[in-house]
Every structure is written in C-alpha cells, then in structure tokens.
Amino acid sequence: MSEHQIDPNKWIEHYSDYLFNYTISRVNDRDIAKDLIQDTFFAGLKSMKNFKGEASERTWLISILKRKIIDYYRKINSNKGQAEVRMTYNNTEEHEGDWLEERIEDEGYLNALETLENTELGDAIYDCLDKLPEKQATVFKLKTILNYETETICNELNITPSNLWVIIHRARIAMAECMEKNWL
C-alpha cells in the first residue's frame, strides 16, 4: 500500500487556505487565485488515478497548481503579445557610468527579494498551522489572518468569547513554538 492516500472530501478543509496563500502571493489577485484553486481541484479529481502516493497529497496538488499558474501567465502573455523590454542608457560622455548606479538600487529586485521572503515565511506559517488541531487552526485563521471581530467568530462557530480566547491562547503558544523552530 502507498504511503499517502488521496481523499478529495478533505481537500477544502486541509489544503484550500494553503493553496490560496500560495497562489495569491504569485498572481496577486483574489478572484484569479480562487479560480486557479478551483481548476486545480477539478484537475486533481480528473487525474486522481495518476496519484501514486509517493508524495503527499498537498505536494501533488501544489504540482498541479504550479502548472495552472504557469498556464495562466502563458495565457495573459499571449494576450498581450510579445513582452516589451525598454532600457535607456545615456550615451553622452558626461553621463557615462550613471546607469550602473541607477541599476544598483533596483526597486524591482528589492521587491522581488521581499516577496520571496514573504512567500517563504507564509509557507512556514502554513506548515505550523497544519500541525494545529482543526478548531484551533480555524479560530486562529479567522482572528489573526482575516481579522474577524471576536463576536463574529463566536456567532459563526457557536462558541463563547472566553472559549475563543482559550483556543487563541493555545493556538498562539503552539504557533510560536513551531515558528521558533522553523523561522524566528
């Protein structure tokens, strides 16, 4: 029997938020990210028989999602036509060498580094969230990532505020411990 099993009934519960965070950090649009995840799940259902169980379900879904993201960029790129590259260099002797300084503090490069670091940090956070009991993870996400009001969460999950704070407390301790090991 293979090490990993596949169960589409658990995909939303276990992977939807992880995949969403993975996608939005790459496409930067909420609606497109949701569409790509939906396509990923549908493609996953279609090719379930190809799942060999050598990698985890999450890794398998991510590999499908990566292809979907590449397809998305291919599609928008072909809609736009050929990519346009524009560079301006000063040809006059007076400005010789200026381009070097102009390019040293390349904002795009710094942004890319920041994005990469945020993506890695986001992955570390989700890895830690995965280790929490389901209820703790749900409450933590609603409160900390989505910034929902305490009252809204209590109504949504039918719990009391003191119950919520106990769950948050336990989740924060576990998250801090896990993040200390993996990141901080």
10-29: which residues touch another protein (CB under 8 A)?
A: 11-12, 16-17, 20-21, 24-25
Distance CA 162, CA 170 (A): 13
* Binding residue (CB under 8 A) for another protein from 5, 38, 90, 155: 38
Please tell me the distance from the alpha carbon of residue 122 to that of residue 20, in angstroms, as a whole number: 11
Element spanning 130, H or E: helix 107-130
Should residue 126 be labelled a site residue for another protein when binding is judged by CB under 8 A?
yes
Q: Which is nearer to another protein, 53 or 161 (CB)?
A: 161
> Residue 18's closest CA among 113, 103, 116, 130?
130
How many residues in the shown chain lie near another protein by CB under 8 A?
A: 40
Residues 71, 98, 106, 156: which binds another protein (CB under 8 A)?
A: 156
Residue 53: which residues within 8 A CB-CB, separation 6 or more? 1, 2, 3, 4, 5, 6
Q: By CB under 8 A, is residue 60 in contact with another protein?
A: no
184 sits near another protein (criterion: CB under 8 A): yes
Is residue 73 involved in binding another protein (CB under 8 A)?
no
Q: Interface with another protein by CB under 8 A: which range of 41-49, 50-58, 71-79, 90-98? A: 41-49
CA distance 19 to 167: 24
- Region near another protein per CB under 8 A, out of 7-15, 61-69, 70-78, 80-88: 7-15
SS3 of 103, please? helix
